[in-house]
Structure 1
Amino acid sequence: MPKAKIVAPQEGARLQALDLRTLGRPIHLLPLFARALRQELDDFLERELNRRYHAGFRIDALRQQLPAADELRWQWHALDDWQLGSHFDRGLLLGILDYRFGARAAAPDGELPVETETERRLARTLAERLLPRLARAIHQLGHAPQPDAPKPQALGYPAQSAWQLEVDLSSFYASLFTLRLRLNASAFDALLQNLSGQRPRLGGNADCANFSDRLRIRLDARLLEQELPLGAVLDLRPGSVLSVAMQPHAEVCAQGSPLFHAQVVERQGKLCLSGFADIE
């Protein structure tokens, strides 16, 4: 068997890695969420800032992406089982304070002044008013009645984020500011579930169901199998990339026993198995 090629870390850094967090999930439907969130944010800006302070904040762009490591100071709040994070650019906070106190809200020139407790308090207040709207935008995508928005509870520790949103804002007199929002895994899973329209199935009366309906067999799909010599395994280092090719067919097993061959296809952003054939 020929030795598998191991790409050097320098070359592997230029390759786009497959992120398992998005594999087979309805990522392509996220623009529907962006539309619902933008409506909530437009209403938030109009009610909380523009009318109250005669400001002119507007949304210029909204982006969604996987979170990356940064040195920003994030605020995290708990809403029931969800944990949502927020970060407001200091230029945005200073602009809101200028509007509040009747000053001309212009972009600060040069180095920003020392951060004050007033800015931190304003950031907490904005987060407590904004995050329930983020949760409402997620609930709007589902078919179930929307629950009453709980009051966000501040967390004393940073949560593990699964998805990030960046909103570029501008006003009459200032250029772009950025508002950043993050969702933890449970909130992101709920978002994807609402997007895909998948609802938990209600179990019927098992005693009245047919035997074929009550019988459940777990099937496992074996998509890829790679064998490496011991020397190649010992040579693996962080950043090493294995060169593999996804096979067009998968082996479907029940309790480790191969039963079928199936074709691997993609449908609406999900990996699916089709064309089952018995293994003889």
Structure 2
Amino acid sequence: MSAPTPVAGPTAVRRQLGRQLRALRDAAGTSVDEVVAHRRLGISRAKLFKMEAGRHPVKPQDVAVLCAHYQASAEETEQLTALALATAGQSWWHVYGDDVPEWFSLYLEIEPAAAAIRTYEAELIPGLLQTPEYAREVYRARNPDDGEIERRVALRMERQAILTRDNQPPTLHVVLNEAAVRREVGGPDVMVEQITRLRQAASRPTITISVLPLKAGAHAAMESAFVILDFPDPTDDPSVVYIDSPSSAAYLQKAAEIARYEAIFGHVLSQAVPILEYQP
């Protein structure tokens, strides 16, 4: 039996609910102080902050109270209380427990909700496109004594199901530094299988893979690999830039930051060649 397709986790739902509650409050012309001053609402400053920031599960009754105060429509109230119910659910990856670092958990929550994923990778093939043996070798190189490698590989393979799901799979646009393609992770046989996997993936209409040749020299993305996640409704769910390291991650959401990384992606893409045309 195949693994279930990952779905957006409760954190992603909380973020969406929080933005919509903030938008309702703004549309009503109501400040945080005014909400807190209405003691009958039972909403403290701390609670409202956490609700709008998407930090914690939200009770449907709290949402209903706020919707009534903001004079939201019955349809809006029904939609938001339904979202509130989903904020307390379990994440699809919860079965992997401690195998998921806290700083990576948010990414696993929001990746399945993305409508488009754009990524530049300098050193290795992105996890969404790795073969099991390639992923296994990456984990062995990182920590040869790790007794949970197979579980980590299984999690990575399960993530890939979003690319072939029946319901609106995200578009994936990858630019790989040529070094990532030429580096023999696991040896020649593993790399032959991995490159074949890349070419097969690139034949899908929703996936584009390009290679940035080494002869391109200095380029705009030399400082860091990154992922840009775009969501179906950019108004309710703005894009996120994800940058990680071995022990932490950054999630950039300011408009200027997004624009900067979109420009960087555009620059490296302009110098790259489609993998189906690439010759090592």
For normalisation by structure 1, the TM-score amounts to 0.23
For normalisation by structure 2, the TM-score amounts to 0.23
The structure whose residues are more often strand, as a share, is: 1
